[in-house]
Structure 1
Amino acid sequence: MQAQTSASWSSKIGFILSAAGSAIGLGAIWKFPYTAGTNGGAVFFLLFLLFTILVALPVQLAEFYIGRTSGTNAVDAFKTLAPGSHWPWIGRMGVTACFVLLSFYSVVGGWVLNYVVHAFTGAVTPGADFKALFEQTIASPFSVLFYQGLFMLMTIFVVKGGVSDGIEKANRYMMPALFVLFLLLAGRSLTLPGAAKGVAFLLKPDWSNFTPQTMLTALGQAFFALSIGVSTMITYAAYLSKKQDLFRSGNSIMWMNLLVSLLAGLVIFPAVFAFGFEPSQGPGLIFVVLPAVFMQIPFGTLLFAVFMLLVAFATLTSAFSMLETVIAAIIRREEVKRRRTSRVVGTAIFIIGIPSALSFGVMADMKIFGKTIFDLWDFMISAIIMPIGAFGIAVFTGWIQDRQQVLAAISEGSSVPQTLIQLWLTTLRHLAPIAIILVFANTLGWI
């Protein structure tokens, strides 16, 4: 059934690093630490670990099945596997979500690039007012648009090179660099006086924090962390050969994501506790609290610059997958159209993102349903489209597709025991849809 694309990954590790790069973005480095910080630390981390393995991974593997079996983009994949049905709307929704998601994700990516410049040009110094610096950074119209544009240019430059020459090549350097630098930073953070309190906060559960709300928040983070529900993994898996072991690849990607989340926690929380800050600082943790923390460490300015460079790497690798999902759906394997389409679509995403970029400055008072443009897009994608997409993918693979066909396709190239593969399908059919409905209902305030 597979109609191989004219582009493909040049190696198994290239796919794993690129897919891990898609998953390891702001969710692991920015959102996980502040969400863990505001939800009790270790209890949240354990629940996040459990839900990632039991719920998010099965849905990710379902996306792998859809992508590799069809061998085509996220929209045509459903047309190939369920011709004449309405299921391609799941793919269309995923492609649209990636377009919109990248329009405001690139804004945060721009903030990160701006902070890299801040760190290397002396704006981040001991005694600086980091709250004022952050507010100034996100409110300046020229600054936010310039860095958002720069972020999109970098993303376009890589994606227009294609899968093996662009995305894979970039991830081959960026992902190992991310892990090495994170290990060095975590080592430095763990040697600070008082760091043990931060380690205990992240790894020693205080069961008084075990609440239904913490469980639902951890479940939501598990979905967000593996980039499921917006068809990026369908798109990446379409470039795979049938020799690739989908189970082992998915397992590797999941553990790499969990490792980066853990390392982010081990960089941030020991340092936060060592210098008497509160871990429950919310979204401003890496932009406001961390600079102040690093300034109290020898060579802190340089270390903070390295940390923000890491965040920039992770943010870009996720952006590659979002843009690729849109490009693949448009060019439909006609690689000759890639370069021009990448430039046109990337420019369109930048333009659509301008109101989001200005949502913290000149357009801060413009509200729709009580939300700024940035917050409205964020809510629509994270709270509505991602859960619906993940639910659709779980139901489509688990219930609509022929059970034996799914088991045969997912087993191809895999050395994983059949009992484990059957357990995956059972989990996908029953546990995943229920979990997704709970996250959806909780996010909308229904429970």
Structure 2
Amino acid sequence: MARETWGTRIGFILAAVGSAIGLGNIWRFPFQVSQEGGAAFMVMYLAFIILIGFPAMLAEFVVGRKTELNTVGAIRDFAGGYWQYLGGLFVFIGFVILSYYSVIGGWVLRYILGSVTGGYAATESAAAYFGMVATGTDTLIAHAVFMLLVIGIVALGIQQGIELGVKVMVPAILAIFGILAVYAFTLPGAGEAYAYYLSPDIGYIMQNWQSLVPAAAGQGFFTLSLGMGVMITYASYLGDDKNLGIDGISIVVLNTSVSILTGLVVFPILFSAGVDPATSGPGAIFVSIAEAVLDLPFGRVVGLLFFLTVAIAALSSAISLIEVVVSYAIDEFGMDRVKATVIAGVAIFILGVPVTMNTVFINLYDILAAQILLVLGGVLLMVLVSWLHAGEAIEELEQGIGDLGSIGSLWIWMVRVPVILVLLVSLYLGVTGYIDFLTGAFAEYLGTL
């Protein structure tokens, strides 16, 4: 059976952008900004995206396109030996991330319903409404509904499912958020919000770099869908005539624009309603936005548009994550796409069940996946591509882009030294931070006994 391919170049770019945009930008990005000092985090994040994220993305592209295989098969074919287990790590990371992504996607579906019915307006507080949505039987059902949507799209295939879906989803995200950003600009708290979001405190950066570096690294890899096999898998459906450099730049620019646009929507709404953006926790944006829009002009419409956009973004990310697993099942075990998608979807749903019972599992899953496993996978892949197979990598990058000359060598050395060094520092800080988190969580648990 012939392997599927993208129908158009724009289909690949939008699929990669759709994966990159997702909840990482609209759910995770604002609360990372809030927890890590506002504009201080923005400086670190943008530097990481440009200097580390883009070269790392090209490394994943060359492995995927050269081998035309799923993540496990691609790395096995590219390097052989024990390196194939790195591909297995990527598949595992996708499993973990999508398991709690799907639960959050279920939250979003319920918030859309709440925007239409006025559900969170009728509850005693936005926090109380989130408490109802975050856990319980209804949350489990919403988790199942979201996974069914994901399974339905991916089961249709690359061109008729994923590509067709993202050609609708990504422009819709950009259009709706563009409208909301213009609306947010007119709000009375916009000036204060822009100062918080766009005017960095250099002193804060110097004092808090140890938390900013792993947070920016994790967020950068998370929002660009790096270190989880997505870009390897998507690039495996590309032809040799495609310019990987131009495609990579397009994806990075579009993805980063949505991140910035998200902040231009979220923070003016919060400041205008007098809501503290520094409220921590994965549910902060849900609580804060739901609370804030109630006091704003056209608040219910704004809430509906916001959560509708989040839902579309969640779907665009989720289909990329499950495709990593599905392509593995198709290539390695000869499964047909529908069967592979259903099996993967059910397994991921089961892994996400604990998250529907207690939100503490989100932090347990998210910090492990985003600040440790993603970065670990990134380090290993960068070593493989830049130190062990540099010649093959440069040759593959040149396909469709012409003779790079010194540019190809510059890219390899960017990956070899600064990219790997920054990722190693980020990995160390991420591991120590996770240990501190587990210690604190355990101590808090003992205090409840």
TM-score by length of 1: 0.92
Determine the structure 2 residue equivalent to 1:278.
276
| Structure 1 residue 56 displacement after superposition | 1.4
1:337-383 deviation digits (Å, cap 9, x = unpaired): 101221122122212221222124xxxxxxxxxxx544433333223
Q: Is the 8 A contact 2:25 2:262 kept in 1?
A: yes
Measured in 2, the distance between the counterparts of 1:342 and 1:335 equals 13
In the alignment, does 2:324 pair up with 1:325? Answer: yes
Tell me which moved more, 217-226 or 329-338: 329-338
Q: State which of 101, 104, 128 in structure 1 corresponds to 2:100.
A: 104
Tell me which moved more, 209-218 or 106-115: 209-218
| Structure 1 residue 189 displacement after superposition | 0.5
Measured in 2, the distance between the counterparts of 1:340 and 1:118 equals 34
- Alignment of structure 1 residues 388-427 onto 2, 5 Å: 388-401=376-389, 403-414=390-401, 417-427=404-414
Q: State which of 194, 205, 226 in structure 1 corresponds to 2:224.
A: 226
| Structure 1 residue 16 displacement after superposition | 0.4
| Structure 1 residue 417 displacement after superposition | 4.6
Q: Name structure 2 gaps, 5 residues minimum.
A: 437-449
| Structure 1 residue 38 displacement after superposition | 2.4
Determine the structure 2 residue equivalent to 1:162.
157
Determine the structure 2 residue equivalent to 1:379.
367
Q: State which of 31, 36, 41 in structure 1 corresponds to 2:28.
A: 31
Q: Is the 8 A contact 1:126 1:292 kept in 2?
A: no
Determine the structure 1 residue equivalent to 2:182.
187
TM-score by length of 2: 0.91
| Structure 1 residue 115 displacement after superposition | 0.9
Q: Name structure 1 gaps, 5 residues minimum.
A: 361-371
Q: Is the 8 A contact 1:247 1:416 kept in 2?
A: no
In the alignment, does 2:209 pair up with 1:210? Answer: no
Measured in 1, the distance between the counterparts of 2:366 and 2:216 equals 18
Change in CA separation of 1:374 and 1:47 when aligned onto 2, cut-off 3 Å? closer
Measured in 1, the distance between the counterparts of 2:263 and 2:361 equals 30
Determine the structure 1 residue equivalent to 2:347.
348
State the one-letter code of the partner of 1:205: P
| Structure 1 residue 432 displacement after superposition | 1.2
Instruction: Tell me which protein shows more helix as a share of its residues.
Output: 2
Measured in 2, the distance between the counterparts of 1:439 and 1:430 equals 14
Measured in 1, the distance between the counterparts of 2:285 and 2:223 equals 17
CA RMSD between the two structures: 2.0
Determine the structure 2 residue equivalent to 1:40.
37
Q: Is the 8 A contact 1:355 1:374 kept in 2?
A: no
SS at match of 2:226: coil
| Structure 1 residue 335 displacement after superposition | 8.0
In the alignment, does 2:5 pair up with 1:8? Answer: yes
SS at match of 2:175: helix
In the alignment, does 2:303 pair up with 1:316? Answer: no
| Structure 1 residue 126 displacement after superposition | 7.5
Determine the structure 2 residue equivalent to 1:442.
429
1:17-43 deviation digits (Å, cap 9, x = unpaired): 000111112211111111112222222
Q: Is the 8 A contact 2:63 2:393 kept in 1?
A: no
Q: Is the 8 A contact 1:5 1:71 kept in 2?
A: no
In the alignment, does 2:54 pair up with 1:57? Answer: yes
State the one-letter code of the partner of 1:67: G
Measured in 1, the distance between the counterparts of 2:123 and 2:77 equals 60
Q: Is the 8 A contact 1:71 1:239 kept in 2?
A: yes
Determine the structure 2 residue equivalent to 1:248.
246
Measured in 1, the distance between the counterparts of 2:247 and 2:204 equals 34
Change in CA separation of 1:127 and 1:299 when aligned onto 2, cut-off 3 Å? farther
| Structure 1 residue 312 displacement after superposition | 0.7
Q: Is the 8 A contact 1:124 1:301 kept in 2?
A: no
Q: Is the 8 A contact 2:194 2:268 kept in 1?
A: yes
Q: Is the 8 A contact 1:159 1:166 kept in 2?
A: yes
Measured in 1, the distance between the counterparts of 2:117 and 2:365 equals 32
Measured in 1, the distance between the counterparts of 2:101 and 2:123 equals 30
Measured in 2, the distance between the counterparts of 1:5 and 1:186 equals 44
Determine the structure 2 residue equivalent to 1:366.
none
In the alignment, does 2:76 pair up with 1:79? Answer: yes
Change in CA separation of 1:53 and 1:415 when aligned onto 2, cut-off 3 Å? farther
| Structure 1 residue 169 displacement after superposition | 0.4
Determine the structure 1 residue equivalent to 2:302.
303
Tell me which moved more, 74-83 or 175-184: 74-83
Tell me which moved more, 406-415 or 261-270: 406-415
| Structure 1 residue 421 displacement after superposition | 3.0
Q: Is the 8 A contact 1:60 1:233 kept in 2?
A: yes
Q: Is the 8 A contact 1:52 1:222 kept in 2?
A: yes
Change in CA separation of 1:205 and 1:186 when aligned onto 2, cut-off 3 Å? same
Determine the structure 2 residue equivalent to 1:433.
420
Measured in 2, the distance between the counterparts of 1:208 and 1:50 equals 17
Change in CA separation of 1:138 and 1:416 when aligned onto 2, cut-off 3 Å? farther
Measured in 1, the distance between the counterparts of 2:296 and 2:416 equals 50
Tell me which moved more, 277-286 or 339-348: 277-286
Tell me which moved more, 20-29 or 437-446: 437-446
Determine the structure 2 residue equivalent to 1:118.
114
Measured in 2, the distance between the counterparts of 1:439 and 1:207 equals 20
Percent of pairs identical after alignment?
Answer: 35
State the one-letter code of the partner of 1:36: V
Measured in 2, the distance between the counterparts of 1:380 and 1:214 equals 16
Measured in 1, the distance between the counterparts of 2:213 and 2:90 equals 26
